[in-house]
Amino acid sequence: MTTHTITAPSAVAAQSITKTYGTDDTQVTALDDVSVAFHPGDFTAIMGPSGSGKSTLMHCLAGLDTVDSGQVAIGKTVITGMSDHQLTILRRKHVGFIFQAFNLVPTLSARDNILLPLDLAGTKVDQAWFDQIIEVLGLGDRLAHHPHELSGGQQQRVAVARALLTRPDVVFADEPTGALDSATGTEVLQLLARSARDMGQTIIMVTHDPHAAAYADNVVLLKDGAIVGRVEDPTADTVLAALAELGA
């Protein structure tokens, strides 16, 4: 694999990325010359009105979608221009995902779901790290259970464990509490905040919920495919005010 290194100490960085969908009069500029860097150990929320480009940005940063121009780097590796195969391998080792719908494999136990990315990457489990994550997430007595035997919150904790186990450069969380009741959602958000604070995990979370964003260290605000602001040390109130200013 050909890799290029960049000097910036970012976990993830985008340099002048542009992404359009469609052609001619149906053309939509989903991302318009976006540059942004996410520092190691930071928990960042991406917010903005519907259609502002949040999902597109996350997909481009994660190497799930290509950019028209500009560059994306994960860790020290520029991923722009990589083949699908190269991206798949890179994602297995360097990126974790947490989705609203959990995306667990129904036929596998919680333990095997958590170990799946390591198995796919052919990497040996770091048992001490596994034990620590399981303890922090309170999953010790649930490891033999299958997803349908777990509550929504437990399933999402399994998804969080799966995302953290490879010690990825970055975890992308897409509305991770969208399918959870508010108490369980709070628990998952606290775990994410803790994994950033205590484990140095970089987390980028797309959310519509100002209360969820308040668990992040900072919020990046998108509008019409461009970054239009940031909220540092957000609270639900400061995020709501910033969104109101955007007309969201």
Ligand X SMILES: Nc1ncnc2c1ncn2[C@@H]1O[C@H](COP(=O)(O)OP(=O)(O)OP(=O)(O)O)[C@@H](O)[C@H]1O
Scanning 52-60, 137-145, 210-218, 240-248 for contacts with ligand X by CB under 6 A, the matching segment is 52-60
Scanning 47-55, 67-75, 193-201, 209-217 for contacts with ligand X by CB under 6 A, the matching segment is 47-55
**How many whole angstroms separate alpha carbon 225 and alpha carbon 222?**
6
Q: In the set 21, 233, 235, 241, which binds ligand X (CB under 6 A)?
A: 21
**How many whole angstroms separate alpha carbon 195 and alpha carbon 189?**
10
Q: In the set 9, 22, 81, 200, which binds ligand X (CB under 6 A)?
A: 22
Q: Which is nearer to ligand X, 40 or 51 (CB)?
A: 51
CA angle centred on 239, ends 242 and 228, rounded to 5°: 45
Is 54 among the residues that bind ligand X (CB under 6 A)? Answer: yes
Q: Which residues touch 71 (CB under 8 Å, ≥6 apart)?
A: 14, 15, 16, 17, 78, 80
What percent of the chain is helix, strand and coil (3-state, nearest 5)? 40, 25, 35
Q: Which is nearer to ligand X, 30 or 115 (CB)?
A: 30
Is 68 among the residues that bind ligand X (CB under 6 A)? Answer: no
Is 53 among the residues that bind ligand X (CB under 6 A)? Answer: yes
Is 178 among the residues that bind ligand X (CB under 6 A)? Answer: no
Which residue's entry shows tokens 């606290």? 190
- Applying CB under 6 A, the residues found at the interface with ligand X are 21-22, 28, 30, 48, 50-56
